[in-house]
Amino acid sequence: AAAAKPGVTNLAERRFHALGRGLELSYQEPLHLVRGEGVFLYTPDGTRYLDAYNNVPSVGHGNRKVAQAIARQMETLCTNTRYLHESIVDYAERLTATMPDGLDTCLFVNSGSEANDAAYRIAKIVTGKTGAIVMEHAYHGVTDVVAALSPYYGPFAQPLATFVQTLPSPDTGADPAEAARRAIAALQASGHGVAMLLIDSAFVSNGIVNVPEGWFAAVAEEVRKAGGLVVGDEVQSGFGRLGDEFWGFATHGVEPDLVTLGKPMANGHPTGAVVARRELLKTFTDKIDFFSTFGGNPVSAAAALATLEELQSRDLQGNARATGQKLREGIAVLNHPALGEVRGKGLMVGVQVNGNAALAKGIANAMRRNRVLIGTEGPQGNVLKIRPPLPFGAEHVEIFVEALRASLD
């Protein structure tokens, strides 16, 4: 049944046949990529695209140190965490050293979705409650329960499950403590109680909005008063991208009880984790024998170690801060009527488009024709999402701004 459709040679058509049409492709003219190097991507004919969109290869596409670490480990040994192995311990030590003291133990999985799924399980066991509070339009992943925690799915997620309550986006001006109290009261009224608050510190799916100082902390305080855990989803905001801090929660002055990691953690090798306060993970593992076959295997550990080493030795957090500033300034200087507020921190940039989702998509498609890759985001789909690999430098900002000028024209 999976045989190639006779006579179909075009790659897009073969893909539709083999994978179905439901798996969306980016851009009006889909892009066929065969190679990546640093912040550039290449098509089969060698055409070069500046990647201002992909946050997974945070230390650069085709990063040799990461690739070699993976290859070396793969030909040496790849087992699982039921055996003693140094590199997963080395990695857990180095990872937790970047976090506040209390966040000191790690549970390894294979994706951001799995990390959030595990965090919710931990929160339920620790608190004995089942309710969760997320942002309106939040996205946290694909497992059944995590999809229920992701109102981003819009019509697919409606009505929200009774164990989920949402908070209004920080840019609505709603009082955070009051909104949290309302969500908590609803969860208590429905008998679920509060197991956790789950928040992406970069507020990406809300449109990379500006967050008033103290907003997250005010919500976290109410949730803790109600006995819930605070979970920082650092899948987007972690590992230095936001520039000022290595972790997104730190930019909000919040110290979560659990932190979930994925995407950039191993530069594209599928790796995720929950970092937890020791007593919380203990309470969980006293009840549940949690074991992930691939989670924390020696190859994943080698990939994650090499990625962290690259991030730290090249000070890519510092680069994110400096280049992010230049990028925002360069966009603002265009002063184009189609563009509004330029938001975000470090190399997580959102640009409000003065228009609808179609206009934003039009700009992203024009950028693609001008050989720069960006995306769109936000509840209205009218925010340009710019989130390049972290080795993005001043010379790349120049290419980007020139392409944006041409695309807007």
Chain positions contacting ligand PMP, by CB under 6 A = 111-113, 116, 139-142, 200, 204, 233, 235-236, 262-263
Minimum Å gap between C-beta 54 and ligand PMP is 12
Minimum Å gap between C-beta 238 and ligand PMP is 10
Biggest CA–CA distance in the chain, Å, is 64
Minimum Å gap between C-beta 347 and ligand PMP is 15
For residues 142 and 408, which CB has a smaller minimum distance to ligand PMP in the complex? Answer: 142
For residues 193 and 295, which CB has a smaller minimum distance to ligand PMP in the complex? Answer: 295
Structure tokens at 369: 């024709």
Strand partners, 230: 197
Cα(358)–Cα(350) distance, integer angstroms: 16
What's the sign of the alpha-carbon dihedral 170, 223, 165, 143?
positive
Minimum Å gap between C-beta 231 and ligand PMP is 11
For residues 260 and 407, which CB has a smaller minimum distance to ligand PMP in the complex? Answer: 260
For residues 116 and 382, which CB has a smaller minimum distance to ligand PMP in the complex? Answer: 116
For residues 50 and 266, which CB has a smaller minimum distance to ligand PMP in the complex? Answer: 266
Cα(249)–Cα(32) distance, integer angstroms: 36
Q: Which residue has the tokens 């000191």?
A: 104
Minimum Å gap between C-beta 224 and ligand PMP is 22
Residue 165 · residue 159 · CB < 8 Å = no
Q: What is the DSSP string of 288-323?
A: -----SSTT-HHHHHHHHHHHHHHHHTTHHHHHHHH
* Residue in 121, 390, 135 with CA at minimum distance from that of residue 263: 390
Q: HSE on the CB side for 89, CA within 13 Å? A: 5
For residues 230 and 339, which CB has a smaller minimum distance to ligand PMP in the complex? Answer: 230
Q: By Cβ distance, which residue is nearest to ligand PMP?
A: 112
Cβ–Cβ contacts within 10 Å for residue 151, how many? Answer: 22
Minimum Å gap between C-beta 95 and ligand PMP is 17
